[in-house]
């Protein structure tokens, strides 16, 4: 800064120009709020003080970069160019490089280098950024449309599979249940000891039909379930979970519900359905494998997540592992459902002999997470994409910043050279003084005595006027006759005043060769 300030003192009115810089620099941060006003004010200041050129160049670039409407951008840049030329022309005779013509020349150079060129660069970069943003939005819209189409296709296929299974398997199970009921009535009279077996077949068939409908509900549309457990506005809420707990109590299970936080009525339907499924599946497993165990259902709802915990102790009747272990398909389905929402799922035996199921589901799941997990599998990480995108976009941003910095330096150097050329031009060129009688010798600064002309005039000049004390001989051009040239004689008196100006011709001397002609 000291070196720059030191160089400024070589410009005329350096104190004034430094004061203008002190006024212009605080205006630069205001270009975001009042771009037009700041640009026009800086244009007036730059015309009066060319050192403000870099500041107005950066302002013109940012204004053109952020201005969307082309007409408004053209008006701003054109008005700033006219103002900088008018200001430089007005300040030329007093604060500028010299006359108004020099000021206009300086203003024209500043308008091109400090307003027009940065404005054009900012326009190109702004249009490029807006075009890329529009292309990204269009690509995102196309990607969302493709995901929606894929989701709809999968939903329709699941619905078709569910309908086929319901029509085929459901019909057969209904027939088995009907025949088992008839067999129960027949055995009641014929063989009462076998009636319990018929009752067991009918109940097992009824349970199989109910579980089949539940499985078909998973294959049904994403927005709703089929069967008796259809999704409603109350699914997954506190009242719904209390109803599930009450059903388990009626079935002979000691269940305690602990609820922390607000109800889930404001959560999305898929979150509430996931909570309902986790609680129902966990209680169903307790009914199958630990009927005598104490169960605790805990639901904790805060702003970012919903946490569901179902824990049962060891069954007194069968403290060890059940004789017939389950297939684990129910827990696998719960894990997939929770992870599709971007949550976590844990299920396993406790050291005390019981079992625990813990599911954490986001209160507001992201669609992109579910899509990436369903497309890429469990290895796809939702956080990998932003990092990769940032890494891919880091190099273009760095190259763009370096290009912009080099362009700004080159533009400022060009601006400094243009200003220096205008200030380096001669401002006041004195006209040669026309000799007049009575002028002193000192006033005739352009008149020089030539000894060769004096020697040529000796013997060929007219008589000198009376009172002449000395004469000065200057060349007067070629003579009227061939072989002669003109001489101008300025004669002065004792007071060194010009008393006569005589013009005459003398014969020219022709050079002879350096050898004698025989």
Can you give the pLDDT at residue 342?
A: 86
Can you give the pLDDT at residue 515?
A: 57
Exposed/middle/buried for 453, CB within 10 Å: 0-12, 13-18, 19+? Answer: buried
Residue 494 DSSP symbol: T
Residue 11 is assigned to a structural domain of this protein: yes
What is the rounded distance in angstroms from the CA atom of residue 355 to the CA atom of residue 289? 10
What does 403-424 look like in DSSP terms, one character per residue? HHHHHHHHHHHHHHHHHHHHHH
- Tokens found for residue 474: 């200057």
pLDDT tens digit sequence for 220-235? 554 444 444 455 677 8
Residue 183 sits in the same domain as residue 286 = no
Residue 432 is assigned to a structural domain of this protein: no
What is the rounded distance in angstroms from the CA atom of residue 41 to the CA atom of residue 136? 37
Distances (CA, A) of 289 to 50, 254, 292, 425, 460: 89, 14, 9, 102, 146
Can you give the pLDDT at residue 253?
A: 84
Residue 131 sits in the same domain as residue 207 = yes
Residue 224 is assigned to a structural domain of this protein: no
Residue 412 sits in the same domain as residue 443 = no
- Mean pLDDT, consecutive 10-residue stretches, the chain (518 aa), reads 48 73 83 84 83 84 83 87 86 70 81 86 84 89 88 78 71 75 80 80 80 66 46 80 88 87 86 88 82 89 88 68 53 83 90 90 72 47 45 61 75 74 61 79 80 87 89 81 82 90 81 54
Residue 109 is assigned to a structural domain of this protein: yes
Residue 392 is assigned to a structural domain of this protein: no
Can you give the pLDDT at residue 357?
A: 93
Residue 152 sits in the same domain as residue 269 = no
Residue 394 is assigned to a structural domain of this protein: no
Residue 252 sits in the same domain as residue 309 = yes
Distance spanning both ends of the chain, measured CA to CA: 81
Residue 419 sits in the same domain as residue 443 = no
Residue 338 is assigned to a structural domain of this protein: yes
Q: Which domain holds residue 356?
A: 238-314+331-362
Can you give the pLDDT at residue 317?
A: 54
Closest CA to 225 of 155, 329, 283: 155
Residue 133 sits in the same domain as residue 54 = yes
Residue 422 sits in the same domain as residue 451 = no
Question: Which residue has 């070196």 as its token pair?
Answer: 3
Residue 182 sits in the same domain as residue 287 = no
Output the domain CATH number for residue 350: 3.30.565.10
Residue 85 sits in the same domain as residue 10 = yes
Residue 73 sits in the same domain as residue 34 = yes
Residue 389 is assigned to a structural domain of this protein: no
Residue 300 sits in the same domain as residue 270 = yes
Number of domains in the chain: 3
């Amino acid at each position: 800064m000291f070196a720059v300030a030191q160089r400024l003192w070589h410009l005329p009115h350096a104190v004034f120009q430094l004061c203008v810089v002190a006024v212009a620099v605080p205006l630069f941060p205001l270009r975001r709020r009042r771009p037009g006003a700041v640009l026009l004010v800086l244009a007036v200041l730059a015309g009066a003080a060319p050192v403000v050129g870099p500041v107005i160049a950066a302002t013109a670039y940012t204004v053109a970069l952020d201005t969307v409407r082309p007409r408004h951008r053209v008006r701003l840049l054109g008005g700033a160019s006219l103002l900088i030329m008018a200001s430089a022309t007005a300040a030329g005779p007093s604060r500028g490089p010299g006359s108004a013509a020099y000021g206009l020349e300086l203003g024209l150079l500043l308008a091109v280098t400090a307003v027009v060129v940065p404005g054009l660069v900012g326009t190109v970069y702004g249009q490029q950024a807006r075009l890329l943003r529009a292309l990204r939005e269009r690509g995102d819209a196309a990607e969302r449309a493709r995901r929606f189409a894929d989701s709809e296709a999968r939903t329709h296929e699941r619905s078709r599979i569910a309908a086929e299974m319901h029509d085929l398997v459901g019909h057969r199970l209904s027939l088995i249940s009907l025949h088992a009921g008839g067999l129960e009535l027949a055995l009641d009279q014929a063989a009462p000891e076998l009636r319990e077996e018929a009752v067991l077949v009918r109940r097992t068939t009824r349970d199989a039909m109910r579980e089949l409908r539940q499985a078909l509900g998973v294959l049904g549309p994403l927005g709703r379930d089929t069967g008796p457990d259809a999704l409603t506005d109350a699914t997954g809420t506190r009242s719904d979970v209390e109803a599930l707990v009450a059903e388990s109590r009626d079935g002979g299970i000691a269940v305690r519900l602990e609820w922390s936080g607000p109800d889930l009525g404001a959560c999305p339907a898929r979150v509430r359905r996931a909570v309902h499924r986790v609680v129902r599946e966990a209680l169903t497993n307790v009914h199958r494998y630990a009927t005598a165990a104490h169960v605790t259902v805990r639901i904790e709802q805060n702003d970012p997540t919903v946490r569901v915990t179902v824990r049962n102790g060891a069954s007194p009747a069968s403290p060890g592992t059940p004789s017939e272990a389950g297939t684990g398909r129910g827990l696998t389905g719960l894990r997939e459902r929770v992870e599709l929402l971007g949550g976590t799922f844990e299920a396993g035996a406790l050291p005390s002999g019981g079992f625990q199921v813990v599911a954490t589901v986001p209160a507001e799941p992201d669609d992109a997470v579910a899509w990436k997990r369903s497309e890429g599998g469990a290895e796809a990480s939702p956080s990998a994409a932003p990092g990769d995108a940032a890494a891919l976009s880091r190099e273009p941003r760095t190259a763009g910043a370096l290009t912009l910095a080099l362009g700004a330096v080159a533009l400022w150097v060009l601006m400094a050279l243009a200003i220096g050329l205008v200030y380096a031009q001669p401002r006041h060129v004195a006209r040669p003084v026309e000799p007049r009688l009575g002028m002193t010798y000192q006033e005739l600064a352009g008149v020089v005595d030539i000894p060769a002309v004096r020697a040529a005039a000796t013997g060929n000049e007219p008589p000198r006027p009376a009172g002449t004390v000395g004469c000065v001989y200057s060349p007067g051009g070629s003579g009227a006759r061939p072989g002669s040239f003109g001489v101008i004689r300025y004669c002065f008196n004792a007071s060194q005043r010009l008393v006569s100006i005589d013009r005459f011709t003398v014969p020219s001397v022709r050079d002879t060769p350096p050898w004698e002609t025989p």
